Amino acid sequence: MNSRSAPARLLSERTAFTALEVLIAASVLAMLLGAAYKVFSSVSRVQTIGQWNNRTTMQIRNGLSLLRNELSRASRPVKLTQSGMVSDPNGSNETLSLHVKDNSSTITFPAANQNLMSFFICQPAREGIPGMPDIGSPEVMVSRVSVVNGSIVYTRELFGGSSAQPTSPLRQVICENPEQIILSIGQTTDPTELAVNKRNFVRVNIIAHHPKYPDAKVSESIEAPFEVPIETGNIP
């Protein structure tokens, strides 16, 4: 005679899950894993965008700050003599101005390689200054804001002349993932009166987007004064 109770016999006889139970368990597990992945993906996206935002904001701010400082040095080729400062007769006319295509322009990316703006930074020539060697012609550096392989880049390089303390060439990326750059120029009514209280100025606005998440964007802008005339058209 079997002394085991009926419930005990039923429990011992049922040694495996049914197919329906396995399917239900697998479905619940898949739902849990899917929810966990969505949470992880969302957190990862927020972190990625946050890091990109900080890095891109710093890159654009540093680039625009450099551009503002460089524009404040935009100058004409001159010669220092004992009688004062005179315009250098050997200076090229194109080194007298800041060059842009138009007084207002908007470039939307992707865009072809091109120069957006150029200006010149000049170290003066010297002649007949006691205790200082003569410098026959001013050192002229040409500075450009350009689109290069999809990035906005600032460069400065030797254009002509010489200097006792040569200016170093420079290349700095202003923005790696631009979506748009807007340039607008303001100028005094009389360019012959350019001075500290009457300056031309350029406004630069850059909008960048994340390469993977286009809805994540950064926008930075500056307004930078300068004291040379403006020429529109070709950009040297």
Helix (H, G, I), strand (E, B) or coil at 121: strand
Number of domains in the chain: 1
Residue 116 lies in a domain: yes
How many C-beta atoms lie closer than 10 Å to residue 5's C-beta? Answer: 9
pLDDT of residue 124 exceeding 90, the answer is no
Q: Which pLDDT value is given to residue 165?
A: 67
Domain-located, residue 19: no
Q: Is residue 39 part of a domain?
A: no
Tokens coding 121: 């930074």
Q: Assign residue 84 a region: left if phi > 0, alpha if psi is -120 to 50, beta otherwise?
A: left
140 located within any domain: yes
Inside any domain, residue 227 = yes
**Between 32 and 150, residue with greater pLDDT:** 150
Q: Contact 75/97 with Cβ under 8 angstroms?
A: no
Q: Which domain holds residue 97?
A: 45-232
The secondary structure of residue 14, as a DSSP letter, is -
Confidence of residue 168 (pLDDT cuts 50, 70, 90): confident
Looking at every residue in the chain, the average pLDDT score rounds to: 82
Task: Please check whether residue 5 lies inside any domain of the structure.
Answer: no
Q: C-alpha dihedral over 108, 113, 114, 117, to 10 degrees? A: 70
With contact defined as beta carbons under 8 Å apart, do 183 and 116 qualify?
yes
Judge whether 98 lies within some domain.
Answer: yes
Say if residue 42's pLDDT is above 60. Answer: yes
Work out the percent of the chain whose per-residue pLDDT is above 90: 42
Residue 184 domain flag: yes
Query: If DSSP codes are grouped into helix, strand and coil, which group holds residue 236?
Result: coil
Using the predicted structure, report yes or no on whether residue 102 has a pLDDT greater than 80. yes
- Is the pLDDT assigned to residue 96 strictly greater than 60? yes
Highest mean pLDDT among 42-51, 68-77, 170-179: 170-179
Residue in 103, 66, 70, 41 with CA at minimum distance from that of residue 231:
103
Question: Pick from 169, 151, 168: which is nearest to 206 by CA?
Answer: 151
Question: What pLDDT sits at residue 45?
Answer: 81
Q: What is the rounded CA–CA span in Å between residue 130 and residue 149? A: 49
Most confident of 28-42, 115-129, 153-167, 200-214: 200-214
